[in-house]
Amino acid sequence: MAEEWTGPGVDLHLELDPSGGRRDALERALRDAVRSGRLGPGAVVPSTRALAAQLGVSRGTVTAAYDQLIAEGYLTARQGAATRVAEIRSTGLPSAEPGKPAPGGPVPRKPVPEKPSPAPPGGPVWAGSWATAGTVAHDLRPGRPDLGTFPASAWLRSTRRVLTTAGPEAHALSDPRGRPELRDALAGYLRRVRGVDADPGRIVITSGYAQGLGLLARVLGDAGTSAVAMEEPGHPYHRMIVARAGLRAAPLPVDGLGARTDLPVDAGAVVLTPAHQYPSGATLAPDRRRAAAAWARDTGGLVVEDDYDGEFRYDRQPVGSLQGTAPGHVVYAGTASKTLAPALRLAWLVLPAALVEPVAEAKRLADAHTPSLGQLVLADLITGHAYDRHVRAARLRYRRRRDELVGALRRWAPHVRVLGVAAGLHALVLLPDGGPGEDEIMARAAARGLALQPLGEFWQRPDGRPQGLVVGYSTPLRSGYHAALDALCSVLRYKA
């Protein structure tokens, strides 16, 4: 379907993809128009009423599409003014003043003396997660999906298909970027589902995001970068990986609008979790998204977009990738660790063209390429749509769990604040002043065999940080979820 669209300031031929819903098609067409430059910075877009009439769709459809593109940073809207294509700006934003908490963000508190945490129950923590639940009765630590729903039958069916149809070359060493079958499948999937500007030639399959981040850090270091800005709070494992590559991890503060990309960034690259900040759960505000892209364009810096749980957004349309707004300056990083299982070690980078060769060479020298069979099976799952079906079913299950967590805490621990639950697989639970702090809650939890992760572990410089817990509500198996919630509510009571 092709539509002529003539609004004030723009004269644009919009190609609406007939597959899928009209709102999706409109969003895609608008994104493409902005990306390609056909809709230039500052251009006024038509009123929702005019465009709806022109395209023969409801006004609500256009409003929803505009809202989505505003959230993604393609468009801007100000009270009483026309909606426009976003300008590229590198200046700070008025939305959050330094030192003042933004709405919904962690509440700065007085410095808390650091004490060693009591040893948490459970097995060894590997890579920010853990191996066995040993003495753990209930596990609400973040970082992994419900492994009881791994689609073993679908995986096995695809494995059979791959092994019976693949020629001998499938078992040979191949392109360090990964199997072309998977890169083709992912390019289509990521364009469709996450608004990524992807083509197979710019994708590198890595053995988990951890490896992808390490390869990028290594390549950046080779090119002279000495520091990478990392969200604070953020994933300590990721900071270790960057440090292992010889780079400094410079803390980038986070508030309720996500990472403070409006502040000056003293680093050659910045790693962000725009869709769902880890661990605060904030969604990066539209102005901050634009500021990050503008910073990269203006300084030649690189943004790494860690989209670790971008498939899981519950209350509205997912926010599209930041990469889609500035594909020449942003690396998009996705993973099957949350959608399928972390033990698969399957992740992908969508790179600016100039980074493809150095990252592929770093990958080749690291381990030649990621194992082929897993890649071919995942490609088969994606092209056969089993992957989409699994993700949709998982989204419904996790949303139900999220609702149950929020409901239980509201009822049994109304003094805590629950943040970051619009998306993803974890919630930030802030502990109020005057009540028990992290150490006390962790000790209570250990006594009940409840594994939790204190917020303090995510800080590089913990002075003045709030006290809280990062609760992974996808971790317990379905059969143990309610008991885990009971245990959580119990240890969060004011008096143990």
Instruction: Name which of 365 and 396 has its Cβ closer to its own copies.
Output: 365
Query: Are 464 and 101 within 8 A, CB to CB?
Result: no
Out of 1, 53, 163, 396, point to the residue binding its own copies (CB under 8 A). 163
* Alpha carbon distance, N-terminus to C-terminus of the chain: 63
Q: Which residue has the tokens 């251009």?
A: 43
Question: Does 368 interact with its own copies (rule: CB under 8 A)?
Answer: yes
Question: Does 10 interact with its own copies (rule: CB under 8 A)?
Answer: no
Question: Which is it for strands 330-335 and 302-306: parallel, antiparallel or unpaired?
Answer: parallel
- How many residues sit close enough to its own copies to count as binding (CB under 8 A)? 57
Least distance CB 86 / its own copies (angstroms): 37
Out of 1, 223, 354, 365, point to the residue binding its own copies (CB under 8 A). 365
Least distance CB 167 / its own copies (angstroms): 8
Question: Does 158 interact with its own copies (rule: CB under 8 A)?
Answer: no
Question: Does 124 interact with its own copies (rule: CB under 8 A)?
Answer: yes
Least distance CB 369 / its own copies (angstroms): 7
Least distance CB 108 / its own copies (angstroms): 32
Question: Does 408 interact with its own copies (rule: CB under 8 A)?
Answer: no
Residues counted in the chain: 496
Out of 248, 364, 395, 397, point to the residue binding its own copies (CB under 8 A). 364
Give the chain's largest Cα–Cα span: 67
Question: Does 474 interact with its own copies (rule: CB under 8 A)?
Answer: no
Q: x/- site string to its own copies, residues 130 to 149, per CB under 8 A?
A: xxxx---------xx--xx-
Q: Both tokens of residue 391?
A: 């993700």
Instruction: Name which of 36 and 132 has its Cβ closer to its own copies.
Output: 132
The span of 151-159, 294-302, 312-320, 453-461 binding its own copies (CB under 8 A) equals 151-159
Q: Is the dihedral of CA 310, 423, 90, 65 positive or negative?
A: positive
Question: Does 373 interact with its own copies (rule: CB under 8 A)?
Answer: yes
Instruction: Name which of 123 and 407 has its Cβ closer to its own copies.
Output: 123
Question: Does 345 interact with its own copies (rule: CB under 8 A)?
Answer: yes
Which alpha helices (DSSP H) does 20-146 contain, by range?
22-36, 48-55, 59-71
Out of 68, 76, 207, 335, point to the residue binding its own copies (CB under 8 A). 207
In whole angstroms, what separates CA 15 from the centre of its chain? 29
Q: Both tokens of residue 384?
A: 């056969």
Out of 127, 137, 443, 489, point to the residue binding its own copies (CB under 8 A). 127
Instruction: Name which of 143 and 436 has its Cβ closer to its own copies.
Output: 143
User: CA-CA distance, 209 to 65, in Å (whole number)?
Assistant: 31
Instruction: Name which of 73 and 342 has its Cβ closer to its own copies.
Output: 342
E-state strands within 86-202:
138-139
Q: Both tokens of residue 129?
A: 């997660």
> Partners of 249 in the beta sheet?
228
Spell out the SS3 assignment of 342-374: HHHCCEEEECCHHHHHHHHHHHHHHHCCCCHHH
Query: Are 181 and 204 within 8 A, CB to CB?
Result: no
Least distance CB 217 / its own copies (angstroms): 11
Q: Is the peptide bond before 111 cis (omega within 30 degrees of 0)?
A: no
User: CA-CA distance, 410 to 272, in Å (whole number)?
Assistant: 30
Instruction: Name which of 241 and 351 has its Cβ closer to its own copies.
Output: 241
The span of 27-35, 150-158, 182-190, 192-200 binding its own copies (CB under 8 A) equals 150-158
Instruction: Name which of 168 and 434 has its Cβ closer to its own copies.
Output: 168
Contacts (CB under 8 A) with its own copies, residues 213-232:
214
Per-residue CA distances from 216 to 152, 200, 253, 311 (Å)? 32, 18, 22, 23
Q: Both tokens of residue 159?
A: 């494995």
Question: Which is it for strands 330-335 and 347-350: parallel, antiparallel or unpaired?
Answer: antiparallel
Query: Are 289 and 278 within 8 A, CB to CB?
Result: no
Least distance CB 238 / its own copies (angstroms): 10
Question: Does 156 interact with its own copies (rule: CB under 8 A)?
Answer: yes
Give the residues lining the site for its own copies (CB under 8 A). 124, 126-127, 129-133, 143-144, 147-148, 150, 152, 155-156, 159-160, 163-164, 168-176, 206-208, 210-211, 214, 240-241, 244, 340-346, 364-374, 477
